[in-house]
């Protein structure tokens, strides 16, 4: 009996090992955005895939650098964080919307693409005859389509990934409907709109959206294509066509905290990949300060891309004045040594163990820039927010939080102390913000599967079937004017216009002819009478 049990166990172990071994794949992952908030999301998946027994080669500017991680090779491109580029994102917000900015700085994206292709270790992998083989390309699909070419180089399917909801260019590539005035289109974030939007606002968005898509496909993509061919030394099909064929796209767009929209079936929702399940370490000093803030404390951070030092003198003094009037301690992630005029209740720290701070029971409110990863962290710790959106999807995230009653929105280019005090006081004292945040967390956790496990399953699904053409929507293959029947609307409108104009002209001629005929007919009669 026990012998049989032993045999059963042995064969089970053998089976599991063989199964694991037989399914181990090699995955090339390329994540070119110099933004740690993007990278922590991707890392959540790549590390989990490694634990599943796959072997990964990861191109990233934020490597884990853990020598104990076997089968996890990192190509460190941290040099793309260029300290010489001093970009004032708050100033940028005053000037243009995000899509316009992408067009303005396009060359910067091309330079970074070349810098990554230039990495000597990376070259050894992609150069012809390197002998490297992969089963999948996993890549960030935001603004670096040049790397899509690697799928042709290695003849593998691609899974795209975004740490936020997709940019317009990706919506277009994958065949999603282009909804130029929908709240999910964050690329136009600075275009203020009425609710509901007026006809002219919609017209403006329509023009801006298609102008951007046109630009991206006719200028940005071809420039990226040239870079890819230069480095790979092979002929690459149109990058737009490769992107249309993405097997899947992992998108950080959980329905309850985004603006739900129609998506093609290749879209798989992800989320919370970076939220740590265990508590982060926190310094003794900080722990003590937080514990001793019996009145409660406020935490302020503008994230990793926006620096508090980008605030001009006036805004900074508004923050200081508002904070000094609060009965709470304020923990401010501030990247300078000194904050002139710092009130006693304000503590500045250069780097913040954010998740540990958010987890502290004395925290009353989180003043932030509206980044998606910070939003997810705030929700998972049940902390209401006050958002000062600066760029990209941040307006959309904060708008959503406001609409759910879990936060307030203020304007970073026009900070006013009274508004800030009012916002903090009401979020901190009115319990409904906190309660709604807790409800939201519950809603977000109520799902049939773990999002990370789901993403792993889909990744292996694509590897097993060498792609997922069964999910491909032909909407992606249609030219822009067919997608939303624009050509038909144009022809129908033109034909009706021509037809009605023609009928008007004909009617006019008929009428004037008959009037003429009538008066000619009448005159002789009159003449006759007179005669
Ligand atoms: C690394 O991955 C390969 C499969 O690509 C596998 O055979 C090997 O056992 C893995 N090594 C470790 C230490 O996990
Ligand atoms: C895209 O997929 C279609 C259908 O599978 C295929 O015919 C075409 O060659 C693919 N294009 C590229 C660039 O991979």
- Supply the pLDDT for residue 417: 98
Residue nearest to atom 10 of ligand 2 (CA): 245
CA distances from 334 to 94, 234, 310, 454 (A): 22, 48, 10, 37
How far does the centroid of ligand 1 lie from the alpha carbon of residue 505, in Å?
80
Q: Give the tens place of pLDDT for each residue, 469-480.
A: 999 999 999 999
Which has the higher per-residue pLDDT, 58 or 277?
A: 58
Residue nearest to atom 1 of ligand 2 (CA): 245
Mean pLDDT (the chain) is 93
Nearest ligand 1 atom to alpha carbon 25:
5
How far does the centroid of ligand 1 lie from the alpha carbon of residue 72, in Å?
10
Structure token pair of residue 301: 């951070």
Handedness of CA 79, 85, 88, 89 (dihedral sign): negative
How far does the centroid of ligand 2 lie from the alpha carbon of residue 422, in Å?
56
- Supply the pLDDT for residue 482: 94
Neighbours of 45 (CB within 10 A): 24
CA distances from 358 to 19, 277, 302, 418, 467 (A): 41, 13, 14, 25, 40
CA distances from 89 to 32, 227, 309 (A): 20, 28, 11
Residue nearest to atom 14 of ligand 2 (CA): 242
Averaged pLDDT, 36-56: 97
Relative to the alpha carbon of 241, which ligand is closest?
A: 2
Residue 15, pLDDT above cutoff 70? no
CA distances from 361 to 282, 383, 428 (A): 14, 9, 13
Residue 298: closest CA among 384, 411, 225, 196: 384
- Supply the pLDDT for residue 1: 47
First to last CA, the chain: 137
Structure token pair of residue 106: 């396009």
Q: Give helix 372-380 / helix 36-51 axis angle, nearest 10°.
A: 70
CA–CA dist 81, 112 (Å, integer)? 9
Residue 16, pLDDT above cutoff 80? no
| Bridge partners, 249 (sequence order) | 160, 267
Q: Does the C-beta of 26 come closer than 6 Å to ligand 1?
A: yes
Q: Is the CB of residue 138 less than 8 Å from the CB of residue 159? A: yes
Q: Does the C-beta of 88 come closer than 6 Å to ligand 1?
A: no
How far does the centroid of ligand 1 lie from the alpha carbon of residue 54, in Å?
7
How far does the centroid of ligand 1 lie from the alpha carbon of residue 266, in Å?
29
Q: Give the tens place of pLDDT for each residue, 437-456.
A: 999 999 999 999 999 999 99
Residue 5, pLDDT above cutoff 80? no
Residue 17, pLDDT above cutoff 60? no
Nearest ligand 2 atom to alpha carbon 245:
1
Relative to the alpha carbon of 54, which ligand is closest?
A: 1
Residue nearest to atom 2 of ligand 2 (CA): 245
Q: Does the C-beta of 71 come closer than 6 Å to ligand 1?
A: yes
Residue 184, pLDDT above cutoff 90? yes
Residue 12, pLDDT above cutoff 70? no
Which one of 22, 53, 66, 135 would you pick to mutate in the ligand 1 pocket, going by the greatest count of ligand atoms within 8 A of its CB? 53
- Supply the pLDDT for residue 298: 98
Residue 181, pLDDT above cutoff 80? yes
Residue 486, pLDDT above cutoff 80? yes
CA–CA dist 418, 411 (Å, integer)? 13
Structure token pair of residue 178: 């282009």
User: Which of 186-190, 459-463, 482-486 tops mean pLDDT?
Assistant: 459-463
CA–CA dist 251, 268 (Å, integer)? 6
- Supply the pLDDT for residue 74: 98
CA distances from 122 to 206, 231, 242, 380, 390 (A): 41, 11, 21, 37, 34
Relative to the alpha carbon of 55, which ligand is closest?
A: 1
Structure token pair of residue 46: 């790549």
CA–CA dist 206, 263 (Å, integer)? 19
Q: Give the tens place of pLDDT for each residue, 325-366.
A: 999 999 999 988 889 999 999 999 999 999 999 999 999 999
Relative to the alpha carbon of 56, which ligand is closest?
A: 1
> ∠ CA(236), CA(238), CA(243), 5° rounding?
105
Nearest ligand 1 atom to alpha carbon 53:
14
Handedness of CA 445, 449, 452, 454 (dihedral sign): negative
Given the structure tokens 């009353």, which residue do they identify? 364
Q: Does the C-beta of 55 come closer than 6 Å to ligand 1?
A: yes
Residue 2, pLDDT above cutoff 60? no
What is the number of alpha carbons within 13 Å of residue 325 lying toward its C-beta? 14
Structure token pair of residue 182: 């929908």
Q: Give the tens place of pLDDT for each residue, 369-395.
A: 999 999 999 999 999 999 999 999 999
Nearest ligand 2 atom to alpha carbon 241:
13
- Supply the pLDDT for residue 11: 52
Residue 485, pLDDT above cutoff 50? yes
How far does the centroid of ligand 2 lie from the alpha carbon of residue 453, in Å?
29
Averaged pLDDT, 503-525: 84
CA–CA dist 447, 459 (Å, integer)? 20
Q: Does the C-beta of 73 come closer than 6 Å to ligand 1?
A: no
Relative to the alpha carbon of 148, which ligand is closest?
A: 2
Q: Give the tens place of pLDDT for each residue, 21-37.
A: 457 999 999 999 999 99
Averaged pLDDT, 394-413: 97
Residue nearest to atom 13 of ligand 1 (CA): 70
Q: Does the C-beta of 325 come closer than 6 Å to ligand 1?
A: no
Close Cβ partners of 527 (under 8 Å, ≥ 6 residues apart): none
> ∠ CA(106), CA(181), CA(477), 5° rounding?
65
Close Cβ partners of 123 (under 8 Å, ≥ 6 residues apart): 117, 231
Q: Give helix 221-232 / helix 106-117 axis angle, nearest 10°.
A: 20
Q: Is the CB of residue 134 less than 8 Å from the CB of residue 26? A: yes
Nearest ligand 1 atom to alpha carbon 26:
5
Q: Give the tens place of pLDDT for each residue, 85-108.
A: 778 889 899 999 999 999 999 999
| Percent helix, strand and coil across the chain, each to the nearest 5 | 55, 10, 35
Handedness of CA 475, 478, 480, 485 (dihedral sign): negative
Relative to the alpha carbon of 158, which ligand is closest?
A: 2
How far does the centroid of ligand 2 lie from the alpha carbon of residue 458, in Å?
21
Residue 260, pLDDT above cutoff 70? yes
How far does the centroid of ligand 2 lie from the alpha carbon of residue 502, in Å?
46
Q: Does the C-beta of 52 come closer than 6 Å to ligand 1?
A: no
Structure token pair of residue 380: 């998972």
Domains and CATH numbers, the chain: 23-274+450-481 (3.40.50.2000), 284-429 (3.40.50.2000)
How far does the centroid of ligand 2 lie from the alpha carbon of residue 158, in Å?
12
Which of helix, strand or coil describes residue 408?
A: strand
Q: Does the C-beta of 24 come closer than 6 Å to ligand 1?
A: yes
Nearest ligand 1 atom to alpha carbon 71:
1
Relative to the alpha carbon of 69, which ligand is closest?
A: 1
CA–CA dist 166, 164 (Å, integer)? 6
Q: Is the pTM of this model over 0.95?
A: no
Q: How would residue 14 be classed by pLDDT, with cut points 50, 70 and 90?
A: very low
What is the number of alpha carbons within 13 Å of residue 368 lying toward its C-beta? 27
Q: How would residue 307 be classed by pLDDT, with cut points 50, 70 and 90?
A: confident
Residue nearest to atom 3 of ligand 2 (CA): 245
Ligand 2 neighbours, Cβ below 6 Å, are 237, 241-242, 245, 469
- Supply the pLDDT for residue 18: 45
Q: Does the C-beta of 439 come closer than 6 Å to ligand 1?
A: no
């Amino acid at each position: 009996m026990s012998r049989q049990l032993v045999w059963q166990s042995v064969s089970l172990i053998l089976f599991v090992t063989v199964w694991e071994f037989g399914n181990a794949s090699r995955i090339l992952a390329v994540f070119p955005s110099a933004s740690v908030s993007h990278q922590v999301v991707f890392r959540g998946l790549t590390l989990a895939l490694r634990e599943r027994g796959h072997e990964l080669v990861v191109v990233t500017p934020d490597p884990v650098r853990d020598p104990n991680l076997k089968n996890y090779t990192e190509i460190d491109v941290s040099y793309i964080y260029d300290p010489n580029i001093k970009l004032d994102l708050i100033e940028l917000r005053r000037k243009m919307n995000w899509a316009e900015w992408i067009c303005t700085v396009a060359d910067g994206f091309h330079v970074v693409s070349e810098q990554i292709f230039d990495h000597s270790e990376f070259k050894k992998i992609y150069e012809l005859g390197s002998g490297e083989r992969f089963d999948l390309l996993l890549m960030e699909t935001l603004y670096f389509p040049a790397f899509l070419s690697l799928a042709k180089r290695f003849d593998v399917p691609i899974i795209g990934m975004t740490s936020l909801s997709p940019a317009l260019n990706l919506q277009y590539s994958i065949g999603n409907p282009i909804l130029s005035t929908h709240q999910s289109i964050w690329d136009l974030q600075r275009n203020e709109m009425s609710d509901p939007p007026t006809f002219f606002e919609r017209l403006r968005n329509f023009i801006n959206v298609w102008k951007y898509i046109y630009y991206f496909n006719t200028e940005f993509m071809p420039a990226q294509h040239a870079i890819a061919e230069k480095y790979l030394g092979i002929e690459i099909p149109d990058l737009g066509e490769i992107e249309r064929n993405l097997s899947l796209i992992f998108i950080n767009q959980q329905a309850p905290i985004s603006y739900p929209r129609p998506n093609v079936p290749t879209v798989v929702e992800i989320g919370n990949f970076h939220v740590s399940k265990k508590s982060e370490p926190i310094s003794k000093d900080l722990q003590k300060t937080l514990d001793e803030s019996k009145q409660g404390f406020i935490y302020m951070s503008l994230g990793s891309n926006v620096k508090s030092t980008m605030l001009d003198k006036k805004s900074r003094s508004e923050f200081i004045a508002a904070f000094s009037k609060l009965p709470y301690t304020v923990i401010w992630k501030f990247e300078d040594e000194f904050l002139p005029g710092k009130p006693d209740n304000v503590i500045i720290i250069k780097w913040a163990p954010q998740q540990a701070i958010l987890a502290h029971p004395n925290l009353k409110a989180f003043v932030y820039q509206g980044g998606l990863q910070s939003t997810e962290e705030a929700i998972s710790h049940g902390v209401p927010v006050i958002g000062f959106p600066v760029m990209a999807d941040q307006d959309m995230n904060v708008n959503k939080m406001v609409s759910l009653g879990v936060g307030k929105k203020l304007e970073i280019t026009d900070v006013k102390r009274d508004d800030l005090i009012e916002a903090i006081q009401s979020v901190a004292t009115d319990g409904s913000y906190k309660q709604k945040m807790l409800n939201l967390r519950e809603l977000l956790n109520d799902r049939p599967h773990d999002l990370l496990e789901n993403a792993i399953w889909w990744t292996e699904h694509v590897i097993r079937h060498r792609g997922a053409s069964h999910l491909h929507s032909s909407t992606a293959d249609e030219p822009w004017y067919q997608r939303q029947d624009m050509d038909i609307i144009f022809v129908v409108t033109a034909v009706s216009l021509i037809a009605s104009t023609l009928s008007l002209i004909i009617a006019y001629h008929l009428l004037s002819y008959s009037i003429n005929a009538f008066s000619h007919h009448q005159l002789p009669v009159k003449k006759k009478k007179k005669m």
